[in-house]
Amino acid sequence: MPLPLTDDQRATLRAVCDTVVPSIQRTPDPTGHWARKASDIGVPEAFEQMLESMPPENVAGLQELLDGLDQQHFGQHTQLSREQLLKNVSLLGPEAAAGVGALVGLTLFLYYGMPVDQQTGQNPNWATFGYPGPTVAPPQTPKAFTPIAVDGDTTLEADAVIVGSGAGGSVIAATLAKQGLKVLVVEQGDYYNESDFAQLELKAYQEMYWRGGPTPTGDMNVTILAGATLGGGTVINWTNSLKTKPHVREQWAREHGLEGVDGPDFDRHLDTIFNRLNVNDRCSDFNKTHQKMQQGAEALGWSYKTILRNSDPATYDPATAGYIGFGDVSGSKQSTQKTFLKDALDHGAEFIVNTFVEKVLVENGRAAGITGVGPNGPITVRAPRVVVAAGALESPGVLLRSGIGGPAAGDYLRLHPAWAFLGSYGEDMQGWWGTPQAGLVDEFSNVEDGYGFLIESSQYAPGLAGSALAFTSGEDHKEQMADFRSGGSFIALIRDHGHGRVTLDANGQTVPWYSLTDPIDVRNYQRANEALIRLYEVTGAHTIAPLAPTQLRWRRGDNLEAFIDRAKRLPPRAGGIQLFAAHQMGSCRMGNDPQTSVAGPYGELHDTPGVWIGDASAFPTPSGTNPMISIMALAHRTAEAITGVTETPDTALAGATAK
């Protein structure tokens, strides 16, 4: 069914939006929070506009759903009946539940997240909870990179082509360029810098995130977030810089054949990355959520650590650090644009953006380059070395479309599944002040056979939070949002023992699948639910609620143990606890066995010489810590294997000095 919507579909969409965010008469209502409904600020129109960038099959599904609701005269029912109708439709099956979830989630995301005043970027809902929105005007920072302008059908040549400019790809690009190789980096996303960082959630998602922002796995079990811009995830991530844990390094070395990863040589790679990213502890102010987390850990006798960050103390500003998931307007984030990509540039590397690599070219069984689609036509890069570093969601897509990589290509996808409970403290928490992650509880990082979970915090933004909070009725959701300013978000993320998979759809596009069913993971999920709840309780939260479509909520005075028991039984999947994943790993993993790994212990494909895996997809198992530093260190090791040259501390840091 093609766009635009029919008049009937449009009317039903409007009715759905105003059911999800209804007008309710309550006094006092100084900011109009209760009286305002979705259509008052143009949500149905914005929703319809969003449909234009969605995959056609998803749009057709939503149109079908709107037709079904229309046949039941949705718009003519009372608010209560309309809410019940949405629930009833959800119960018809997974597809219907997914469709209703998308209607509700996107309505809430737009209502609380989109800029309404185009001049200021403000949204009238933010006044209710004191969210400031954009705090400073973006500076006029000049663009350091000038991507090659490619016109029409183009063929280029290089010594090495790097697919993807994120954490891993950038390190390999710099290391190869420093050895004098002609390097070409091909990036699917566009190039943005500080002058574009407007501190707006919707704009950032649309411009710099994979598939335009939070995107569900094929089974709807996990919502995925990943960067897709020049610099990849390092431009939009939260700069939490953790080294790979010894027990993970030992597992990679002993069980997967990555020799030396458990010893001093890998320490050298980690130190190289730490030094180049200027990782330090001087930009880790604790906001109120982190203060509570620390107090709670102390009270419970749990290990709590300050997080080190790749942020420049000279320009770091805690007032804007809360927005760094939308790009860091202060310029203090030491993303790869400021470090390894810049080093690559200074040593002659060239860059193409807005270009989607489809396949690796293979000739006589060896790498011969890549083919892709640019903004103005097909692009071929001929090169004897190809580094696939498109992130763990897309690297397997490149291999699968090329018919290389063997049976493990796309398998062993790890996600560090993460979720939150929201605690309300009855005081102004200003969750958007300060960096999203400044401290963590690592007490449970290894509770069963090397697997466990971390407790951290997250960026506190109204659009994503509004769409993730449980929706059971329009009034209940408004009630929760009215209290948004008092919230603190502790998240748990587990080092997953089980795994998912990336496959290709009929159009050759990747689809991630993930189900949290591994017994160790289920036990850690339950342990983490208990730990999160105890942390909130001991720090004085008035209420604690899971992000799940349930009215299950703990209020001070309620039986805590009974609440923990019920929370542990919430299913970690679609329809239950909302799982998120910002750490995709392992889908083209390294190892000795071509049946269970794609690449050998130094990253080169078992079945195709000249092709290396250079990103998080190379992890044999999940890092168990936020992965950026591990990705970059492993990429540095792979880069040295490609060049055959070991960098000294001086040459590793010689980035800023052009040849």
- Residues 542-601 interacting with ligand FAD (rule: CB under 6 A): 582-583
Of 119, 118, 143, give the one whose Cα is nearest residue 194: 143
Query: Which window, 31-39, 40-48, 95-103, 622-630, contacts ligand FAD (CB under 6 A)?
Result: 622-630
Taking CB under 6 A as the binding criterion, the range among 99-107, 125-133, 223-231, 551-559 that sits at the site for ligand FAD is: 223-231
The region of 132-140, 151-159, 184-192, 494-502 touching ligand FAD under the rule CB under 6 A is 184-192
Which region among 158-166, 253-261, 360-368, 600-608 touches ligand FAD (by CB under 6 A)?
Answer: 158-166
Strand order in the sheet with 154-157: 154-157, 377-382, 366-374, 356-363
Among 99, 113, 168, 610, binds ligand FAD (CB under 6 A): 168
Residue 267's SS3 state is helix
Closer by beta carbon to ligand FAD, 389 or else 611 = 389
**Is residue 196 close enough to count as binding ligand FAD by CB under 6 A?**
no
The DSSP string of 83-129 is HHHHHHHHTT-HHHHHHHHHHHHHHHHHHHHS--STTT---TTHHHH
Task: Tell me which residue of 488, 505, 493, 477 sits closest to 531, measured CA to CA.
Answer: 493
- In SS3 terms, 10-51 reads as HHHHHHHHHHHCCCCCCCCCCCCCCCCCHHHHCHHHHHHHHH
> CB under 8 Å to 146, separation ≥6 — which residues?
none
As measured in angstroms, the least distance from the Cβ of 479 to ligand FAD is 28
- Specify the stretch interacting with ligand FAD by CB under 6 A; choose among 145-153, 166-174, 194-202, 641-649: 166-174
One-letter amino acid of 191: Y
**Residue among 350, 385, 346 nearest 644 (CA):** 385
Q: Tokens 């400044």 belong to which residue? A: 438
Q: What is each CA distance from 416 to 75, 346, 385, 501, in whole angstroms?
A: 41, 35, 31, 14
User: Residues 602, 615: contact at Cβ < 8 Å?
Assistant: no
End-to-end CA distance of the chain: 56
Binding of residue 613 to ligand FAD (CB under 6 A): no
Task: Please state the closest distance from residue 387 (CB atom) to ligand FAD, in A.
Answer: 10
Distances (CA, A) of 6 to 10, 17, 32, 70, 100: 6, 16, 31, 11, 19
Q: In the stretch 102-141, what mask flags binding to ligand FAD with x, by CB under 6 A?
A: ----------------------------------------
Among residues 101, 134, 189, 331, which is the contact residue for ligand FAD, using CB under 6 A?
189
Residue 233 is a binding residue for ligand FAD (CB under 6 A): yes
Q: Which is nearer to ligand FAD, 389 or 541 (CB)?
A: 389
Question: Which segment (194-202, 260-268, 389-397, 550-558) binds ligand FAD by CB under 6 A?
Answer: 389-397
Name the β-bridge partners of 604.
612
* 167 makes contact with ligand FAD (CB under 6 A): yes
Residue span binding ligand FAD (CB under 6 A) among the ranges 21-29, 157-165, 485-493, 535-543: 157-165
- Strand 377-382 with 154-157, pairing: parallel
In whole angstroms, how close is the CB of 184 to ligand FAD at the nearest point?
12
Residue 55 or 571: the one with the smaller Cβ distance to ligand FAD is: 55
498-527 footprint of ligand FAD as x/- string (CB under 6 A) = ------------------------------
Assess 164 for contact with ligand FAD (CB under 6 A): yes
Residues in 324-343 at the binding interface with ligand FAD, rule: CB under 6 A: 325
Number of chain residues interacting with ligand FAD (CB under 6 A): 42
Told to check if 481 binds ligand FAD by CB under 6 A, we report no
Name the segment binding ligand FAD (CB under 6 A); options: 38-46, 384-392, 535-543, 565-573. Answer: 384-392
Helix (H, G, I), strand (E, B) or coil at 511: strand
Q: Which C-beta is closer to ligand FAD: that of 243 or that of 573?
A: 243
Q: Which of 362, 458, 364 is nearest to 418 (CA)?
A: 458
Is the CB of 37 or the CB of 342 nearer to ligand FAD?
342
188 lies in the site for ligand FAD, by CB under 6 A: yes
Tell me the CA distances in angstroms from 158 to 381, 608, 622, one per residue in order. Answer: 7, 19, 33
Binding string, 627-656, against ligand FAD, x = CB under 6 A? xx--x-------------------------
Nearest alpha-carbon partner for 244 in 635, 646, 650: 635
Q: Is 142 exposed, middle or buried (0-12, 13-18, 19+ CB in 10 A)?
A: exposed
DSSP string, 200-220: -HHHHHHHHBGGGS-EE-TTS
Residue 94 Cβ vs ligand FAD, minimum distance, rounded to whole Å: 26
438 makes contact with ligand FAD (CB under 6 A) = no
CA nearest neighbour of 261 among 635, 643, 656: 635
* Site membership for ligand FAD, residue 238 (CB under 6 A): yes
In the complex, what is the shortest distance from the CB of residue 208 to ligand FAD, in angstroms, rounded to a whole number?
9
**CB nearer ligand FAD, residue 125 or residue 459:** 459
Q: How far is CA 525 from CA 284, 449, 450, 535, 572, in A?
A: 28, 15, 15, 15, 8
Longest dimension (CA), the chain: 76
Residues of the shown chain interacting with ligand FAD in the complex, contacts defined by CB under 6 A: 163-169, 186-189, 225-229, 232-234, 236-240, 325, 356-357, 389-392, 394, 398, 437, 582-583, 615-616, 626-628, 631
